[in-house]
Structure 1
Amino acid sequence: MKLPVVLLYSNSPQVLQFFFENLQICGVSRHLCIDSFSIESLSNYNCCVFDISDDSINNMAFLERLTEKLDICKIETPVIILASSRIFKTVKNMFRNKKAATVLEFPVSPCFLKKCINGCVLEEIEDNPFASCKPTSHFNSIYSENKQNTSKSLDRFSNLIGISETIKEMKKKLVCISNSDETVLLEGESGTGKTFIAHMLHENSPRSNFPFVAINAAAIPETIAESELMGSVHGAYTDAGNRPGYFEQANKGTLFLDEICDLSLVVQAKLLKLSESTTLYRMGSTKPVNYDVRLFCATNANIKENIQRKYFRQDLFYRISVLRLKIPSLRERLEDIPLLAEHFLKEKSKFNNYYLSPDALDKLVSHKWPGNIRELKNCIYRAASLCESEIIRPEFITF
């Protein structure tokens, strides 16, 4: 899968920093250049942005060569030129008959500049409002057009990074699930972000002001499962303390049980009873405790197959799966890899200025990712730690 590549050229480190910090574009690889640029290589890019805000003699000479090249070679690569107010009209006149060129006055709004670039290179994204825009014919309308208002409900899940159709569809389902109060079963391979999705659902639900208790079900020993789930009082058994169980801890909030298929059948029976009730008794106590909990469960196993093999109770499956959500693997959303990679680099301050070369991004996109997002995150941090500059090249990408 070949990613669109945008050249961002300037002879000013400050402007390049502006490009780097403000022009993170969905599904697009950015090539930042501060050295001299060969006009002959224009066709290697899907779009070129030239900063000519420094109206030096060299820059003006470069623009003259560019106009000649666009005429002689009939290059169709969209070109966006950022000119200072002093020379804006002059530059605009130079390119007034060049269909592939657009001249903007610098400084320019990052949002508007991103929209212009989007219009040039993201035609494959169906719902991109600027996908059909050609460089000169629609930019004025883009500028005057109010920013499209995304529905508030979908905005609640903006932390779910991705532009793929798979992610867009999942966001719509998340809106419905978060507004419900039914049990949820999250299914997906290891490393796809099931815990992250569960926590996001809780944060956007009516229970968000109450606890979110996340437990690895595989770590609940059968011998003490009852006390872990329901709690205990002093004297209930040797070394027993007076403490609440998971259901009581999550009262009025959400209890998330990951790796649900790893529970023993004995523990599954206890969980079934608790999931169907609103009252429990701590071990060693006759005093009832009322609870109100929304139950989320997750598994990376084939739960239907586990039921057929008698490893998982069918009645418990029906109880915990009123709502089911399949979390896509990274292989099913390859176009989200550039955004995810950039997000991981931004997460750590020491990697804030690092970026991936186009070849490195291509290498990431061509990998199968058996470990999904967890593997991608580790791969990015490993490459950033080993590379010798702020440009992460393919030789530092190892799997």
Structure 2
Amino acid sequence: MNKIEGILENLINNLKEGIHVVDSKGKTIYYNKSMATMEGLKREEVLGKKVYEYLKEMEGTSTLMNALKNGEEFKDVVQQYSNNHGKNITSINTTIPVIIGDKTVAAIEIARDMTQLKKLNEKICMLESAMKEKENNYTFKDIIGNSPKIRNEINKAVKASLSNSSVLIYGETGSGKELFAQSIHYNGIRKDKPFIAINCAAIPSALLEGMLFGTVKGGFTGAENKKGLFEEAHRGTVLLDEVNSMEPYLQSKLLRVLQDGYIRPVGSNKIIDIDVRVIATLNEEPENLIKEGKLRKDFYYRLSVMRIDVPSLRERKEDIKEITEYFISYYNRLLSKNVKNLSEEVWDKFQQYNWPGNIRELKNTIEAAMNMVDDGEILTKEFFENKFTIVGDMNNDSKFTGDLSLNDYLEEIERSVITKIYKKNGENITRTAEELKISRQNLQYKLKKYNL
């Protein structure tokens, strides 16, 4: 082995992905450590042998052998199978035939181990379903606030609850999108039917398709007859959380489901009629996602028959007091305490802060303070020191504490600087842009972004 071959051998053998290469006769000529670990086999069991000799159930279904036989490339194919020792494996494979002239001389498979992730996803879905059966379901009375912005969106959501049309809910992370989604379902005509939520960002698209539409035995290696979430939710509601995380091809399939009212399980030729109301959520501006190619325009239009825009907490600061009092009362009951209120100084700081994490951040902030305070005390500044290091005057030498992400921290500083210069110039856009040395258009974008 020469030096270059040695370097390549070392590189491939230390990749996280499994690498499997067979020659023109289908015999294994390369099998790296990751592939051996994933399939639970030793390299000596595999080298020089054909796939079905050590993976008996793969005969006729192996993507490696099919690529070799037909010269066909396979991309992101899910395979579920067992080795000869009974270990179950789930992988996502890309398989490429090596063609020289007009002959296929080898085939290369690159595999990602999804076995544990698949098990984890199934457990999470089971746990979430069990928890939702036990927990109190949210309704509109659980949405706190009386500001015009939140009341307007609640009124739209109430009307949406009386319809069967698709609903798109846009809002920043932590603003309460699922609260709206559950309220629409449990206030509506489907309230006695299933409500199934799935986080599209947490599951790879290759697995998500089978989870949504179901699978049939023989549809792909190791596939079983299994109902998908759409079939489980028949006559009820499916919540697709962070739907923009889906690959465009899966968005296209979902669009067909919404238009035609039926699903086709993975690997099946049969269709199943379904009656499901879809509610989808986005935590980024839909228009920007469409421009970036992350959200299909036709899919967006079909989802947003009715659209709810959940305002961020900084857009409805008049609700902070009511929401804070609610969380204080909640944690008083939970922690058996008797906290009365916040100090005036803390109330002022709460109003100054922009709450990039929205209601979720406010809840976590109150929870942390309530765990530290003694019975009967007012929550004063010392219980929020980490928060106020950042909430304080950004023009001073405030230090980054890690309480926020770096991006959120930098946005807080940018907002503070723009606010100061904008006010100093009497809210004159031209003078402010000149002093900040940015274009008028850029300044106008930032003024809108920071709600100034």
The CA distance in 1 between the partners of 2:153 and 2:206, in whole Å, is 38
Give the TM-score normalised by structure 2. 0.51
- Partner of residue 357, structure 2: 371
Give the SS at the match of 2:260.
coil
Deviations 1:283-335 (A, max 9, x none): 23344322101111111112112212322211111110111111000011112
Shift of 1:212: 0.8
- Partner of residue 390, structure 1: 376
Give the SS at the match of 2:307.
strand
Alignment check: 8 A CA contact 2:337 2:376 kept: no
- Aligned-partner residue type, residue 182 of structure 2: H
User: 1:324 aligned to 2:307?
Assistant: yes
Deviations 1:217-249 (A, max 9, x none): 112322233312210123322332322112112
- Aligned-partner residue type, residue 357 of structure 1: L
- Partner of residue 257, structure 2: 274
The CA distance in 2 between the partners of 1:279 and 1:269, in whole Å, is 14
Match of 1:167 among 150, 155, 171: 150
- How much is the aligned-residue C-alpha RMSD, in angstroms? 1.8
Give the SS at the match of 1:233.
coil
Match of 1:254 among 231, 237, 243: 237
- Partner of residue 228, structure 2: 245
Shift of 1:196: 1.2
The CA distance in 2 between the partners of 1:246 and 1:380, in whole Å, is 36
| 4+ residue segments displaced more than 6 Å | none
- Partner of residue 143, structure 1: none
Deviations 1:346-379 (A, max 9, x none): 3342155223233233322221100000100000
User: 1:362 aligned to 2:345?
Assistant: no
Alignment check: 8 A CA contact 1:230 1:280 kept: yes
The CA distance in 1 between the partners of 2:154 and 2:209, in whole Å, is 36
Structure 1 runs not aligned, ≥5 long: 1-155
The CA distance in 1 between the partners of 2:354 and 2:209, in whole Å, is 41
Alignment check: 8 A CA contact 1:186 1:298 kept: yes
Alignment check: 8 A CA contact 1:345 1:352 kept: no
The CA distance in 1 between the partners of 2:199 and 2:322, in whole Å, is 29
More helix, by proportion: 2
The CA distance in 2 between the partners of 1:217 and 1:188, in whole Å, is 16
The CA distance in 1 between the partners of 2:151 and 2:288, in whole Å, is 29
Give the SS at the match of 2:280.
strand
- Partner of residue 114, structure 2: none
Deviations 1:76-95 (A, max 9, x none): xxxxxxxxxxxxxxxxxxxx
Give the SS at the match of 2:140.
coil
Alignment check: 8 A CA contact 1:215 1:256 kept: yes
Change (3 A) 1:167 1:222: closer
The CA distance in 1 between the partners of 2:205 and 2:243, in whole Å, is 13
Give the SS at the match of 1:173.
helix
Change (3 A) 1:223 1:389: same
Match of 1:350 among 335, 344, 348: 335
Q: How many residues get paired?
A: 244
Change (3 A) 1:238 1:390: farther
Change (3 A) 1:390 1:237: farther
Report 1:88-103 matches (<5 A).
Answer: none
Match of 1:158 among 141, 158, 176: 141
Alignment check: 8 A CA contact 1:258 1:299 kept: yes
Give the SS at the match of 2:142.
coil
Give the SS at the match of 1:304.
helix
The CA distance in 1 between the partners of 2:320 and 2:154, in whole Å, is 17
- Partner of residue 191, structure 1: 174
Alignment check: 8 A CA contact 1:345 1:351 kept: no
User: 1:230 aligned to 2:213?
Assistant: yes
Shift of 1:345: 2.7
Shift of 1:274: 1.4
Alignment check: 8 A CA contact 2:161 2:184 kept: yes
User: 1:307 aligned to 2:294?
Assistant: no
User: 1:203 aligned to 2:186?
Assistant: yes
Alignment check: 8 A CA contact 1:363 1:394 kept: no
User: 1:338 aligned to 2:321?
Assistant: yes
Give the SS at the match of 1:227.
helix
Structure 2 runs not aligned, ≥5 long: 1-138, 388-452
Shift of 1:172: 1.6
Alignment check: 8 A CA contact 1:185 1:323 kept: yes
The CA distance in 2 between the partners of 1:188 and 1:267, in whole Å, is 23
Same amino acid, percent of matched pairs = 38
Change (3 A) 1:285 1:229: same
Of stretches 334-343 and 294-303 in structure 1, the one that deviates more from structure 2 is 334-343
Alignment check: 8 A CA contact 2:200 2:208 kept: no
Change (3 A) 1:361 1:258: same
The CA distance in 2 between the partners of 1:270 and 1:352, in whole Å, is 52
The CA distance in 1 between the partners of 2:251 and 2:264, in whole Å, is 17
- Aligned-partner residue type, residue 236 of structure 1: G
The CA distance in 2 between the partners of 1:165 and 1:318, in whole Å, is 27
- Partner of residue 148, structure 1: none
The CA distance in 1 between the partners of 2:352 and 2:371, in whole Å, is 22
Structure with more contact order per residue of length (Cα contacts < 8 Å, sep ≥ 6): 1
The CA distance in 2 between the partners of 1:242 and 1:361, in whole Å, is 57
Give the TM-score normalised by structure 1. 0.58
- Aligned-partner residue type, residue 383 of structure 2: F
